[in-house]
A and B are shown apart, each in its own frame.
Chain A
């Protein structure tokens, strides 16, 4: 039956898809190819029509020699780990917790929806206010209940880490253990945990109920049901969430830029890219950095695919 369709109307079905393919190809391939070529030249930001000097891989060497690049890579990886792990864990716990009948369930789900769709810039503005030292909500609240105000956006390492003898300062620096970094992780946590929750919840509702009935009949405890039935059954959903979260976390820009600008302690790769390209106006180097970033992302996603996504490819 399907075969007969695919033989006839070949032109029709290609014509339907053609505009999408053309637009995607033009808007994806052309910029990337253009960037690839640009990355081999020393671009002049002011004089645009002149022929630029060809520098080969010079820009790439420049990027890799820059200690800022390595520090931003390190921060990007830390950012991915720090944000995604608690999001998935808490999202999963919330989904299991709310997987029952109770009053106001729809309301809860509606409220959890807003952070996901909220404008990143607005979220950063809100949290910048909450974290503000002088007049921020958190410090006003702390003062009210008689506690000392905190420097929430400080880029100094946590004092309980730096006070550890010898390795303390090193630990704080290497693993970005400071309030500023914690705050960007926290803002992302606030925005995206609801997403993980909603997806896991949907995954749970899609599971066959008979399985849980069988568990009850066989006398499995709540923990056993969770560990040996719920968790394995939801594994494909976990990989989907992980995949989507990695892609989205690698796009984070506004929430950091608005609060911290291009300050070194919170400079992840996207902020570094912007700084090289549009603050320092080094177009050639920024192009090289763009290509390196794309390779880096391909590498991470391929790793994720090899580790677990492959099994669940449908």
Chain B
């Protein structure tokens, strides 16, 4: 009796598990499948689980919608932003973590700069960039994305550096290493996984950014992938094929990169408050 109860319980558990996994993975899986379907299959009244795959949807976005260029724009903005954010946030995070510069108050102020929603500060950015003739340049997007990600990345990196035992640094100091040497030759290699995680987060958030890109970089020359893909949906006549293929193009690097941050995602997204 009790044995039977146990088996029923575990079957129920696995059924629940499978439905939960399906619920959260199916939409993305279906997008991937549909991107290889021809247009008339997508809009037919059948689910078409088995079909003859075609690359038409990919050909369409790359050949006639200039997606190579948008891909370049997105990659450029994301890579440059990530690199600059790293250069600025790593020393800052080290200083906050080791010397407690400014104390908890400072950390709080840095946290506050992340609170404002993009839509609320969009207007002044647009007007200021207009003065400097930066609208419709990728530089504008880089600046905005640095502003959006910097505070977050400092706090995230700080939580990683906090975990490196201080005694290692002390030992190096006693051996006669300068602060500079400790910082570059010791802390940087030790904080490697933290640096990698934060950089991947910056890259993904910048890659995903939509609102600023839509307003500040609307011309075809400087459009990024999310804006270009969004155009397919807000267009008068929706073409589902390119929507799915552009979705897959955008998601692919994220899927690859997310494997690297998997272990640290909770710690990263809560500034190390939960590990």
The answer to whether A and B belong to the same complex is: yes
Residues of A near any B CB (own CB < 8 A): 1-2, 5-6, 9, 12-17, 19-21, 23-24, 27-28, 30-32, 34-35, 38, 43, 48, 94, 97, 102, 104, 107-130, 134-135, 137, 140-141, 143-144, 190, 194-195, 198-199, 201-203, 206, 237, 240-241, 244, 247, 250-251, 253-254, 257-259, 261, 269-271, 273-274, 277-278, 283, 286-287, 290, 293-294, 297-298, 301, 314
The verdict on A12 contacting B127 (CB below 8 Å), with A31-B121, A254-B226 known, is: no
Contact B95 A16 (CB under 8 A): yes
Contact A135 B240 (CB under 8 A): yes
Q: Which of B24-32, B50-58, B59-67 contacts A (4 or more CB under 8 A)?
A: B24-32
Contact A287 B92 (CB under 8 A): no
Contact A113 B247 (CB under 8 A): no
The verdict on A273 contacting B120 (CB below 8 Å), with A9-B179, A20-B88, A111-B25 known, is: yes
Contact A290 B179 (CB under 8 A): no
CB-defined A-B contacts under 8 Å, sample of 12: A5-B99, A14-B95, A17-B91, A27-B146, A27-B150, A108-B21, A119-B207, A119-B208, A199-B274, A237-B274, A253-B118, A270-B118
The verdict on A31 contacting B243 (CB below 8 Å), with A119-B208, A119-B251, A297-B117 known, is: no
A35-B128 Cα distance, complex, nearest whole Å: 10
A283-B254 Cα distance, complex, nearest whole Å: 36
Output the nearest chain B residue to A17 by Cβ-Cβ distance.
B95
Q: Identify the interface centre among B27, B102, B234, B251: most chain A CB within 10 Å of its CB.
A: B27
A156-B226 Cα distance, complex, nearest whole Å: 30
A114-B20 Cα distance, complex, nearest whole Å: 14
Contact B21 A254 (CB under 8 A): no
Q: Is the interface of B mostly helix, strand, loop or mixed?
A: helix
Q: How far is the CB of B150 from chain A (nearest CB, A)?
A: 6
A269-B119 Cα distance, complex, nearest whole Å: 9
A253-B21 Cα distance, complex, nearest whole Å: 27
Contact B123 A244 (CB under 8 A): no
Residues of A within 8 A of B230 (CB): 121, 125, 254, 257-258
Given A113-B258, A114-B254, A254-B211; 13 other pairs, CB 8 A cutoff: A5-B98, A13-B95, A16-B91, A23-B88, A43-B127, A97-B16, A117-B258, A119-B254, A120-B210, A202-B274, A206-B274, A240-B273, A293-B119
The verdict on A290 contacting B123 (CB below 8 Å), with A5-B98, A190-B24, A253-B210 known, is: yes
